[in-house]
């Protein structure tokens, strides 16, 4: 009798606890079938008779509509006391439910996104892995919550309480602060749906390290299937970077807690890409698993970019981001600020913090400038591209935010420092914008240029309207002149060469081979290189991988006009592995070489130029 009364008491308490304003989700990570998990929701109190329940079409930071409802099946709604509930699927992401105030529970099955391309529309719209979910039974769970948990329209501000029944020893690494850890289950709480989506979780046997940087507690969590890299190494790699970033931002880091969540994979991703997705108090990484030292600088570069997103757009953002609509997303005009300025700051901070140097910074920015001209439309207004980035014809220009967007940041920084005699740069501008707005206050897209001009100079407003809002190319020659650097769009010279053929390396034979002859110059044509030719000797010297650098250097240091040049090549014939050895000969001659976007330090640099250069790059 006591047992029955106790049982009734417990059930009553649970029922009472769940009859509140919070979403109560339960996920059993021990019950996985074909990378799918069943999710149960006890909803908050719903007043309406009819309501829409949705999974996001898109989430902040992805800039692409993914329709996460594609990964949901077996959507079932149970009514209280046996009530009949009508459920109508409105679209791929949304269900209309009536009567909503009679809902007892909702259950559904969620599929992962990392290795699924057989669902309707998935092949054409593969989810970029850092924004998706991996469900690998008894191994690891990469949980981006927007691909698992839905919400009722009009109830995004309600708190979310998620109970995860977990495999033995598993730990939920996350940026969330409200966590109740248990032996068999953990409970995580988010303040609302935006907060939940903003807080990914890496669930696995823990490989975690913590670092204290000023007042900020930094968690690093790592999953590496073959143990090639660990959290201790990543934490040590990031610690110096975070101190540099703190200095760059004017002192302490702008958050009390931050989580770096790293998932390394030993096989290609189905998207063909790797990278990360930023969040307010964390960032989630999907990177190739390789030797830790090989990937160290990549970790720094990607982590520096993602962490700087705590400034833009997580602190400084437009209404479109601050009031993000998960199912009818509206894009902001200012991707140059959110992604471009962030990418620039990631490289600039490392240069002035002595992790890299000024040469690396300048070469990186010039490479990005060249990429922007080569691969993207340089005459398209950046604000227009940003606003319409979800349009199919415009979306292919999105990658330019990391190329031209970063160069815009460099140009703006140099121009500000020049106009202010080195006293005010983009770091100061970000602080001023952060004070005017902030995490809980959005700016209006149409006001941003005027706001920036008010903090700075009329010339800055003109620059933004002409080169960011307008379609005029960036004034690289004028900008770099301000730091004493000469810039030429094109430089023509006549030089000796090795033929200009595109080369690759054959691991089986241990030789370089001609992969492409499309841009081969006159000297290469005179020698008669053909696609597939494997280089064996140059003027009698063997071109082994360990000696080729010295052999080529010797060639360039000694060759003269009219010299006889001889290449010994292995030309493939017939069956694989069969070659014909040939000696290709030609007379050495200089060929016309055209180089784009060349820079050099001016000979007579003024005190003002020197001062701007010092304040920009620390040299």
In order, the DSSP letters of 150-167 are -EETT-TTS-EEEEEE--
Distance CA 538, CA 191 (A): 68
Supply the mean pLDDT for the chain: 93
Q: Evaluate whether 203 touches 192 at the Cβ level (below 8 Å).
A: no
Residues 295 and 348 in one domain: no
Residues 285 and 179 in one domain: no
Instruction: Tell me the torsion sign for CA atoms 19, 25, 30, 32.
Output: positive
| 608 within some domain | no
Residues 80 and 106 in one domain: yes
Residues 24 and 132 in one domain: yes
Q: Note if the bond before 99 is cis, omega within 30 degrees.
A: yes
Residues 116 and 222 in one domain: no
In the listed set 455, 485, 515, which residue is the last one of a domain according to the structure?
485
Torsion angle of alpha carbons 62, 67, 70, 72, nearest 10°? Answer: 80
| 4 within some domain | no
Is pLDDT of 120 > 70?
Answer: no
| 274 within some domain | yes
Distance CA 279, CA 310 (A): 8
Residues 507 and 575 in one domain: yes
Report the pLDDT value the prediction gives residue 17, as an integer from 0 to 100.
43
Locus of tokens 């004028």: 478
Report the pLDDT value the prediction gives residue 480, as an integer from 0 to 100.
98
| 607 within some domain | no
Mean pLDDT score, 211-232: 94
Distance CA 285, CA 135 (A): 16
pLDDT in tens, 566-583: 999 999 987 777 899 999
Query: Which of 121, 96, 111 lies closest to 148 in space, CA to CA?
Result: 111
Q: Domain range spanning residue 508?
A: 497-589
Report the pLDDT value the prediction gives residue 9, as an integer from 0 to 100.
35
| 6 within some domain | no
| 10 within some domain | no
Residues 443 and 317 in one domain: yes
CATH of the domain at 28: 2.60.40.3650
pLDDT band at 121 (very low <50, low <70, confident <90, very high): low
pLDDT in tens, 334-367: 999 999 999 999 999 999 999 999 999 999 999 9
Report the pLDDT value the prediction gives residue 253, as an integer from 0 to 100.
81
Is pLDDT of 90 > 60?
Answer: yes
| CB-count burial class (<10 Å; 0-12, 13-18, 19+) for 56 | buried
| 3 within some domain | no
Distance CA 110, CA 73 (A): 7
Q: Give CA separation, 270 vs 73, 144, 288, 509, in Å.
A: 22, 17, 12, 31
Mean pLDDT score, 269-283: 94
Number of domains in the chain: 4
In the listed set 205, 240, 258, which residue is the last one of a domain according to the structure?
205
pLDDT band at 124 (very low <50, low <70, confident <90, very high): low
Report the pLDDT value the prediction gives residue 122, as an integer from 0 to 100.
52
CATH of the domain at 259: 1.10.390.10
Report the pLDDT value the prediction gives residue 12, as an integer from 0 to 100.
34
| 606 within some domain | no
- Secondary structure percentages of the chain, helix, strand, coil, to 5: 35, 30, 40
Residues 316 and 387 in one domain: yes
Query: Which of 340, 406, 341, 324 lies closest to 367 in space, CA to CA?
Result: 406
Global pTM reads 0.86
Residue 102, token pair as written in the block: 């009679």
Mean pLDDT score, 232-259: 91
CATH of the domain at 558: 2.30.42.60
Is pLDDT of 388 > 80?
Answer: yes
pLDDT in tens, 183-198: 999 999 999 999 999 9
Residue 428, token pair as written in the block: 């100061």
Residue 573 is given by DSSP the state -
Report the pLDDT value the prediction gives residue 615, as an integer from 0 to 100.
97
Q: Give CA separation, 307 vs 77, 299, 361, 411, 616, in Å.
A: 40, 12, 18, 22, 21
Residues 146 and 251 in one domain: no
In the listed set 485, 513, 530, which residue is the last one of a domain according to the structure?
485
pLDDT band at 5 (very low <50, low <70, confident <90, very high): very low
Residues 426 and 480 in one domain: yes
Residues 388 and 481 in one domain: yes
How many CA atoms lie within 13 Å of 575's alpha carbon, on the beta-carbon side?
1
Is pLDDT of 501 > 80?
Answer: yes
pLDDT in tens, 415-470: 999 999 999 999 999 999 999 998 889 999 999 999 999 999 999 999 999 999 99
Residues 59 and 150 in one domain: yes
CB-based contacts of 553: which residues, under 8 Å, 6+ apart?
none
């Amino acid at each position: 009798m006591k047992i029955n009364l106790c049982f009734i008491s417990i059930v009553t308490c649970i029922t009472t606890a769940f009859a509140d304003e919070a979403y109560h989700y339960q996920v059993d990570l021990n019950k996985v079938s074909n990378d799918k998990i069943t999710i149960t929701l006890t909803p908050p109190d719903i007043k309406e008779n009819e309501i829409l329940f949705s999974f996001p079409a898109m989430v902040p930071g992805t800039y692409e509509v993914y329709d996460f409802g594609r990964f949901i099946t077996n959507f079932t709604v149970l009514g209280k006391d046996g009530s009949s509930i009508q459920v109508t699927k409105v679209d791929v992401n949304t269900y209309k439910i009536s009567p909503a105030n009679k809902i007892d529970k909702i259950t559904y099955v969620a599929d992962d996104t990392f290795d699924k391309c057989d669902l309707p529309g998935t092949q054409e719209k593969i989810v970029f892995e850092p924004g998706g979910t991996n469900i690998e039974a008894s191994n690891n769970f990469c949980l981006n919550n927007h691909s698992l948990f839905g919400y009722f329209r009009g109830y995004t501000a309600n708190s979310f309480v998620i109970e995860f029944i977990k495999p033995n020893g598993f730990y939920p690494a996350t940026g969330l602060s409200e966590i109740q850890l248990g032996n068999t289950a953990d409970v995580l709480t988010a303040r609302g749906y935006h907060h939940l989506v903003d807080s990914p979780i890496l669930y696995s046997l823990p490989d975690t390290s913590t670092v204290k940087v000023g007042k900020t507690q930094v968690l690093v969590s790592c999953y590496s299937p073959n143990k090639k890299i660990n959290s201790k190494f990543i934490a040590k790699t990031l610690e110096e970077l975070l101190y540099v970033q703190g200095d760059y931002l004017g002192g302490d880091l702008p958050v009390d807690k931050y989580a770096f969540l790293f998932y390394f994979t030993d096989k290609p991703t189905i998207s063909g890409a790797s990278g990360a997705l930023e969040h307010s108090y964390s960032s989630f990484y999907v990177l190739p698993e390789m030797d830790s030292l090989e990937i160290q600088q990549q970790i720094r570069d990607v982590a520096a970019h993602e962490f700087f997103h705590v400034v833009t757009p997580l602190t400084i953002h437009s209404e479109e981001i601050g009031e993000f609509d998960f199912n009818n997303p509206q894009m902001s005009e200012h991707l140059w600020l959110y992604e471009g300025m962030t990418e620039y700051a990631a490289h600039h901070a490392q240069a002035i913090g002595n992790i890299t140097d000024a040469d690396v910074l300048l070469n990186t920015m010039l490479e990005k400038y060249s990429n922007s001209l080569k691969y993207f439309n340089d005459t398209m207004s950046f604000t227009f591209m940003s606003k319409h980035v979800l349009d199919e014809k415009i979306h292919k220009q999105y990658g330019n935010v990391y190329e031209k967007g970063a160069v815009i940041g460099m140009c703006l920084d140099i121009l500000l420092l020049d106009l202010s005699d080195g006293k005010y740069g983009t770091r100061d501008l970000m602080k001023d914008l952060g004070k005017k707005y902030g995490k809980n206050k959005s700016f209006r897209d149409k006001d941003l240029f005027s706001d920036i001009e008010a903090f700075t100079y009329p010339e800055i407003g003109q620059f933004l309207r002409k080169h960011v809002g307008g379609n005029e190319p960036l004034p690289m020659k004028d900008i770099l002149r301000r730091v004493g650097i000469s810039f030429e769009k094109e430089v023509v010279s006549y030089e000796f060469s090795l033929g200009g053929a595109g080369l690759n390396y054959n691991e089986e034979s241990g030789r370089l081979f001609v992969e492409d002859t499309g841009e081969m110059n006159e000297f290469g044509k005179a020698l008669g290189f053909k696609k597939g030719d494997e280089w064996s000797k140059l003027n009698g010297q063997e071109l082994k991988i360990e000696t080729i650098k010295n052999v080529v250097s010797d060639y360039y240091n000694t060759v003269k006009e009219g010299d006889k040049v001889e290449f010994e090549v292995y030309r493939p014939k017939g069956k694989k592995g069969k070659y014909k050895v040939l000696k290709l000969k030609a007379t050495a001659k200089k060929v016309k070489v055209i180089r784009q976007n060349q820079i050099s330090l001016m000979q007579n640099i003024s005190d003002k130029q020197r001062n701007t250069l010092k304040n920009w790059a620390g040299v």
